[in-house]
Amino acid sequence: MTLPLAVCVSGRGSNLGAIIDAIAAGRLDARITLVVSSRAGAPALERASRASVPTAVHAVTNATRADAQRAMARAIVASGARLVVLAGYDRILTDGFWDELGAIPVINIHPSLLPAFGGLNGMRVHEAVLRSGARESGATVHRAQPGPVDDGEILVQRRVAVLPGDDAEALAARVLAEEHLALVEAVGRLARQAAV
Ligand code: GRF
């Protein structure tokens, strides 16, 4: 069965693009029912539109987060999604989101080898890896649930070496390439499980 999924984004949308490309190439038996963004004008929305994927903006401010995320979850359920992918969604999810979503599973992509360097985001992850002197980093796809962020069962990890002379940008670029592979692999695995 082709797995219907929703993708939550806030920015660039390269992980969304990896899913779109894998579906288009026949490497992933999935269908994106909805792309939801926390920010109007996120480049990810443009990426979705180019692939004729439906989009919605549920803009989040500190004052509106609970209502916006409740509405976002309702839209996801109404779209028929059976999986939610957090692909660079930049806000912590409130209880109302989880209540509305019910039993639909949620996965998240994080640019480190969790549990190491969880709870950080963006370049801060890679800066912390470099400061720590770690010899490797990587990408993790894990299940997300109410409670602590960057927690939950790890589904896929892909490793990269930290190279002498790396700065945060160089390391981020090397990790990002692995994120794309890890995310497609994880969604593919869940799609195959949903099919049996
Ligand atoms: C990625 O590094 C992802 O791991 C993190 O946010 C970033 C999103 O990048 N959660 P993009 O929008 O998919 O290009």
pLDDT by residue for the chain (196 residues), tens digit each?
899 999 999 999 999 999 999 999 999 999 999 999 999 999 999 999 999 999 999 999 888 999 999 999 999 999 999 999 999 999 999 999 999 999 999 999 999 999 999 999 999 999 999 999 999 999 999 999 999 999 999 999 999 999 999 999 999 999 999 999 999 999 999 999 987 7
Q: Is the CB of 58 under 6 A from ligand 1?
A: no
Three-state DSSP class for 59?
Answer: coil
Question: 101, 99, 97: which is closest to 68 by C-alpha?
Answer: 97
User: Given this model, what pLDDT does residue 63 score?
Assistant: 87
Domain range 3-109+140-155+178-195, CATH class: alpha beta
Q: Is the CB of 96 under 6 A from ligand 1?
A: no
Q: Is the CB of 11 under 6 A from ligand 1?
A: yes
The domain limits of the chain are 3-109+140-155+178-195
Three-state DSSP class for 150?
Answer: coil
Rounded CA-CA distance 19/17 in Å is 5
Residue nearest to atom 6 of ligand 1 (CA): 88
**Of the residues 21, 176, 181, 184, which should be mutated to test ligand 1's pocket, given the most ligand atoms within 8 Å of the CB?**
176
Q: Is the CB of 88 under 6 A from ligand 1?
A: yes
196 CA to middle of ligand 1, Å? 30
Cα of first residue to Cα of last residue in the chain, in angstroms, is 8
Residue nearest to atom 10 of ligand 1 (CA): 88
Examine the residue annotation and report whether 126 is marked as an active-site residue of this protein: no
Q: What pTM value is reported for the model?
A: 0.97
* Helix, strand, coil tally for the chain in percent (to 5): 40, 20, 35
Residue nearest to atom 5 of ligand 1 (CA): 88
